[in-house]
Amino acid sequence: MNLQLSDLQYAVDVAMGRQPGSLLLKNARLVNVFTLEIQHTHILLAGRLIAAVGPAYAQAPAAEVVDLEGRWVAPGLIDGHVHLESSLVSPAEYAKGVVPRGVTGVVTDPHEIANVAGVAGIEWLMQASEGLPLEVWITVPSSVPSTPLETSGAVLGLAEIERLLAHPRVVGVAELMSFPAILAADATELGKVLLAERSRKSPEGHAPTLVGPALQGYLASGIASDHESTTLEEGRAKLEAGCFLMVREGSTTRNLEALAPLLRPEHGERIGLVTDDRLPSDLLREGGVDFLVRKAIGLGVDPAYAIRAGSWNVARHYRLLRRGAIAPGFQADLVVLDDLHSFRAQAVYQQGRRVARQGRLEVALPKTEVSGAVSHTVRLPELHPQDLQIPASPGKVRVIRAIPHQVLTAEEHLEPTVRDGEVVADPSRDLAKLVCFERHGKNGRIGKGLVTAFGLQKGALACTVGHDHHNLMAVGVSDADIVTAARRLWALGGGMVAVADGEVLAELALPIAGLMTDEPLEVVDARLQDLEAAAKTLGVTLPDPYMALSFLGLAVIPELRLTDHGLVDVRQGAVVGLFVE
């Protein structure tokens, strides 16, 4: 916030009645996140800061007076863990989508763009998020690459992490994803925890399914949080072990309903709300972390505590000074609500100025510049259908089963369909070929496997969003169509595509690192709907097939994944063969 001495003097003078305030919000019903009470009061602002709150300020002089007539006022919400790149749009477009809903801050882990463009990609995101009516704090990606079992576009080692931790907008080291390495007491991974602590910043966690001794060992490292709990038992175990429990409701990973019983006032500051990954359709129709607050209230959570979990608790966890509450000396980030339970923003103030009203942004956004390390990032060799052949061998094969609305996968062992000595896709059995093309221009590797539960009967889907290495992921029942899809993404500079019989049915160009575009959210959403519709014509039954496809290469979440190195057994932390021995 870069406060000056004059800002503090102004706030004190306004509170003491020596100067008029900049804005008086009269007759408010304040959501007090400290006491969880609703207070009928008045709020007096001094520029970017809140000067005073209380009944004594009903007639305080101010340059502007707004009578809220009993409307509720809550602190601006802060998303505790999000990957801005997963919205597929620029930071400015993301802000346009969430700020009018009452979100005034996010903590982002830019490991998507870092895995493509390294430090230069992180610096681009920092620059692109300057000057927005949304504060964007950074956690330094710890997993670039997330494992040694994939090829990423860059590598961030301890030296790069230490340098980035010195940036004033950096608030921690991002999710340490390779939990097997942590449990093995790997020196490099534990060194990242120490770097965060020595910088007085938070080391963030990623511990899917861990309970019992494994959870104890993971947290013994000093890692502070986790956002991967999917069951009530898992969430309770992490909360009891001292973990800051981040309750997540993304586009694919929807865990709020299962964990809602833990959102209770007696759990104090130990629970925060996060979105992790949200697609444009969900941002437009549901919102960002405001949706979690609204849904939590609908599930019976105390409204004041739901708001606290989406504001003050997150600010406390990351030591975000003067954020997350409405009280003297805090930054004036406020949401005015017509109805508390629906959490629909009537007006939004950020740093003391009104930035949105009735769902519409009222301030201009800076132009997003796209150049340098984040452009022209798709680099493929010449591709041919024969490159995708899988020679047959006796026995069963490992098959990835996609799970609807989850990033978890299951491993199945099935008899392959063989034709002319090759393992082939078989739509009659819901068996599709899954391919991972190394697209950073490093080695041209191609990982090949099989996947079920997509329902694909024809053609191919492909995208350059492939967590976390962000290689080109494709699923298809035709090798020729898979190659056509990959070639089209090469020409677009990245994106998503649906192909059948050699023709492109729908596409979305993502020229920023193969991950994002500067097109408006509404345009991106329309193109995604076209892609979804095209996927359905090809027989796809899996919800959010492109999001699901993008996670099939994520080699840090059980059970079975595919990278350019081949099939990865996440529990073993090793590449395994397609054929079961």
Q: pLDDT tens digit string along 235-269?
A: 999 999 999 999 999 987 899 999 999 999 999 99
Q: Where do the domains of the chain lie, and which CATH numbers do they carry?
A: 77-318 (3.20.20.140), 385-580 (no CATH)
Q: What is the pLDDT of residues 486-526, one digit of tens each?
A: 999 999 999 999 999 999 999 999 999 999 999 999 999 99
Nearest Cα to 252, choosing from 234, 273, 228? 228
Note the pLDDT of residue 180: 85
Q: What would the two tokens of residue 490 be?
A: 């090469």
- How far lies 490's CA from each of 380, 381, 570, in Å? 7, 10, 29
Pairing of the two strands 409-414 and 334-337: unpaired
Classify each residue of 26-60 as buried b or exposed e, where b means 16 or more C-beta atoms within 10 Å of its C-beta.
bebbbbbbeeeebeebbbbbbbbbbbbbeeebeeb
Confidence at 2, pLDDT banded by 50, 70, 90: confident
Nearest Cα to 477, choosing from 407, 568, 401, 539? 539
**Residue 72 burial by Cβ neighbours in a 10 Å radius (0-12, 13-18, 19+):** buried
Please give the span between the terminal C-alpha atoms of the chain, in angstroms, as a whole number: 59
Note the pLDDT of residue 123: 96
Judge if pTM exceeds 0.85: yes
What's the average model confidence in pLDDT over 206-221? Answer: 95
pLDDT at residue 426 above 90?
yes
Note the pLDDT of residue 175: 95
Classify each residue of 102-127 as buried b or exposed e, where b means 16 or more C-beta atoms within 10 Å of its C-beta.
bbbbbbbbbbbbbbbbbbbbbbbbbe
Nearest Cα to 449, choosing from 423, 419, 421? 423
- Three-state DSSP at 483 gives helix
Residue 245 to residue 236: CA distance in whole angstroms? 9
Percent of the chain with pLDDT over 90: 93
Residue that is written with structure tokens 């910043």 in the block: 201
Phi, psi values for residue 276, rounded to 5°: 65, -75
Instruction: Strand 202-205: give its sheet, edge to edge.
Output: 77-82, 103-108, 135-140, 170-176, 202-205
Phi, psi values for residue 282, rounded to 5°: -75, -35
Residue 131 to residue 124: CA distance in whole angstroms? 14
The mean-pLDDT minimum among 61-65, 87-91, 174-178, 479-483 falls in 174-178
pLDDT at residue 1 above 90?
no
What's the average model confidence in pLDDT over 175-197? Answer: 94
Q: What is the residue type of 227? A: H
The mean-pLDDT minimum among 48-57, 82-91, 370-379, 476-485 falls in 370-379
Decide if 337 contacts 455 (C-beta within 8 A).
no
Please state, rounded to an integer, the average pLDDT across all residues of the chain.
Answer: 96
Decide if 527 contacts 507 (C-beta within 8 A).
yes
Residue 72 to residue 345: CA distance in whole angstroms? 10
Note the pLDDT of residue 253: 82
Q: What would the two tokens of residue 523 be?
A: 């345009």
- Residue 268: which residues within 8 A CB-CB, separation 6 or more? none
Confidence at 312, pLDDT banded by 50, 70, 90: very high
Would you mind telling me the total number of residues written for the chain in this entry? Answer: 581
Residue 18 to residue 13: CA distance in whole angstroms? 5
Confidence at 454, pLDDT banded by 50, 70, 90: very high
Note the pLDDT of residue 407: 83
Note the pLDDT of residue 508: 98
Nearest Cα to 312, choosing from 101, 75, 138, 41? 75
Mapped to the 3 state alphabet, what secondary structure does 108-137 carry?
A: ECCHHHHHHHHHHHHHHHHHHCCCCCCEEE
Confidence at 19, pLDDT banded by 50, 70, 90: very high
Q: What is the pLDDT of residues 332-389, one digit of tens each?
A: 999 999 999 999 999 999 999 999 999 999 999 998 988 789 999 999 999 999 999 9
Is residue 273 within a helix (H) or strand (E), and if so which, with residue range? strand 271-274
What's the average model confidence in pLDDT over 72-91? Answer: 97
Residue 328 to residue 43: CA distance in whole angstroms? 9
β-bridge mates for residue 135, sequence order? 105
Q: What would the two tokens of residue 231 be?
A: 């069951």
Residue that is written with structure tokens 């009222």 in the block: 362
Nearest Cα to 78, choosing from 294, 252, 302, 309? 309
Decide if 169 contacts 136 (C-beta within 8 A).
yes
Is residue 417 within a helix (H) or strand (E), and if so which, with residue range? strand 417-419
Residue 319 CB neighbour total at 10 angstroms = 12
Note the pLDDT of residue 562: 98
